[in-house]
Structure 1
């Protein structure tokens, strides 16, 4: 049996869900297919800080998407809450950055992108045991609680008429006349007007397996990250703290997330005692009061690593109705809304607010 679809998105993580929202708002009929349930991979596992780690040390292409998304999140969160009753817990608690050896570069970045900043006061730094180096306070930086944002977005899309095909693997993609003509699963075949692949860390392997005659060197690879969650109280930590390459994130209910590792472990999502001990030591040394609270959860996720962390967003160079939105590394939520809008603009042939060139599927390889 063959079913005809307007737009089919492979992958129900944050990138796929937000792209579905943009395209549905434009009046298109959207179906999302995933090998498991929506939002259960990297999108669920992240910390939810709505700022790249030290963005001034990263490519401008990351900042452009991140800052554009930062401006969209308050309205998006209100819209999702109003429509579904599920709070994504957007929370503008601010962020303390303990060590800034490149302080002037950080200030220049904040000024360029209009991000409020100030030197961190003693009151802000006092609770922590850190070797401070020109500590910086970013009062407007917010977070979202990944699982609740995804749950809210999923419910919103269901209400909006987006169709979901869960727990389904794709067996074959057929191509005719430089277009995807058919997508075949275990029990059904689909014809599509547009196909979007947002399969996170699995994107490269999926494309190579299903479209071997249309190769793309996307260089998206899995990067494991492990995190801990402390069952603390709401008064324990009122704002996010970044110390070196690790951080603490307080949720509204008081729980505190400590993250994260960056591991080359293939598609292995197991947690390790070594990572648990390392994260626990970091968290309790930085904030000694955490020793009073138990660890209530330890998990791992697979980030979609890409060269310089710059995602691939755009049309396939050879297949007219195939697009990609993947490879956001640690910043799927951070860059999500603006990435989705850019993808939708390209597919719908609308003017883009952000230059698409840095995200091209055929951009020059980076060292």
Structure 2
């Protein structure tokens, strides 16, 4: 039985662990805080890149696989744990979007069900929308997932495995090596030896590789969000305009996001972001002016060049693996990324072409 250590307890770390456990591995997961409480908890949960036509084909391939798998994953976790991740196919309206022609060409080329709709459709779908929008791009099948519930379900499922060892509040402090080979991880409390170590540490993954003497261009990018509460069904679809979006939850909560800030590891919320997000919320949905937000929070995305994640072995350090750098799309890409990681680590035939994501040639030896 292979012994694996996963560093990082976000959606990428949890789903990596789940795939490996289901394949018969023994897995120790090290999380510096509480499982799933960083970017995976903080995000909006739209099961699509915000502007899918802007991304490389490699990102689209992971997104398409994951979009198809999310309903199955949610149903399995509900049956296994009793926790509903609330994967809702609510559709997404990109309002008056300047990249209309590019988006429609992308949809035709990739056979995606994206269509232009007139204002009549827009206001029939979202009657409480501010007046003046002329048209939208509409994708009816796009879903959103209630990501905190997803992380709760993943935690419950992982803990059902006798071969799973969860170590929360356990900061990984270094790699154990036998020559050039990585054979485990040290924490402030203990050593964990393993046949393979998977770094899925989100925004902290670049620091991890730097500790090992390698350069990985993954940096923290802060995003702040607001939460409102209306009655269930008040908002039926996700709406997006000029980079800001409103996402409905089944119980009537509405998420407004998000900012994009390069502020290091500072996760504090700010009054400036509060005011900016409130303006966006009220500009999209004027009836929200009657309400005060019920919550504001921030998370740190793992920023990476063009949002293409690093998935696979680090050739310079045998035994070390990456599943990191998903930037704004960790929840979107997680099912496919973690299946690919498991396929490669266990030497199975991968369901997706791994070439675009392999760290080889993308992780550099620093000068």
What is the CA distance between 1:181 and its match in structure 2? 2.5
Other-structure match for 1:101: 98
Question: Does the aligned pair in 1 maintain the 2:170–2:189 contact within 8 Å?
Answer: no
1:27 aligns with 2:24: yes
Matches within 5 A, 1:208-357: 208-209=210-211, 211-212=212-213, 215=214, 217-357=215-355
Aligned length: 358
What does residue 143 of structure 1 align with? 144
Taking the aligned partners of 1:144 and 1:352, their CA distance within structure 2 comes to: 26
What is the SS of the residue equivalent to 2:166? strand
Q: Indicate conservation of the 8 Å contact 2:33/2:170, yes or no.
A: yes
Q: Supply the distance in 2 between the matched residues of 1:116 and 1:340 (Cα, whole angstroms).
A: 26
**Deviation per residue, 1:209-246 (Å, 9 max, x gap):** 2x23xx2x210000000000001112321110011111
Deviation at 1:173, TM superposition (A): 1.6
Q: How far 1:292 moved relative to its partner?
A: 2.4
Matched, 1:184 2:186: yes
Q: CA deviation at 1:130?
A: 6.3
Moved more, 235-244 or 64-73: 235-244
Contact kept, 8 Å, 2:210 with 2:216, in 1: the verdict is: no
Q: Take 1:101 and 1:131, find their aligned partners in 2: how far apart are those partners?
A: 15
Following superposition, the deviation at residue 353 of structure 1 comes to 2.1
Match of 1:91 among 82, 88, 92: 88
What TM-score do the two structures reach when normalised by structure 2?
A: 0.93
Q: Distance in 2 between matches of 1:282 and 1:129?
A: 11
Moved more, 120-129 or 284-293: 120-129
Q: Which moved more, 1:303-312 or 1:153-162?
A: 153-162
Distance 1:63 1:363, change over 3 A: farther
Alignment partner, residue 201 of structure 1: 203
Equivalents in 2 of 1:7, 1:174: separation in Å? 13
Contact 1:95–1:139, Cα closer than 8 Å, also in 2: yes
CA deviation after TM superposition for structure 1 residue 165, in Å? 0.6
Structure 1 residue ranges without an equivalent (≥5): none
Cα deviation for residue 115 of structure 1 reads 2.7
